[in-house]
Structure 1
Amino acid sequence: MTKAMATACLAFLFPLCAGAAEPDAARFELQRSGDHFVRLDKQTGAMSICQDKDGNLVCRMAADERAAYDAELDRLSDRVTALEKSVAANEGKSTLPTDAEVDRSIGIMERMMRSFMGMVKEFQNEEQTDKPLPQKTRALYE
Structure 2
Amino acid sequence: MKPVRSGASEFATAFFLTGLIVVATLPVPQASAQQPDKVPPKDGGPMSENYVLERRGDTFVRIDKATGQMTVCTVRTGQLTCRVSVEERQYFLDEIARTEERIKSLEERVATLEAEKVVRNQSTDSPKPEAGLPDSADQHSDGANPQEDAAKPRTAEEEKLERDFDRAMDYMSRAMRRFFDVVKEFKNDTAGEKS
Bin for the TM-score computed over the shorter chain = 0.3 to 0.5
Higher Cα Rg, which structure: 1
Q: Which has the larger strand fraction? A: 1
| TM value normalised by structure 2 | 0.29
| TM value normalised by structure 1 | 0.38
Question: Comparing both chains, which one has the higher relative contact order based on Cα–Cα distances under 8 Å and sequence gaps of 6 or more?
Answer: 2
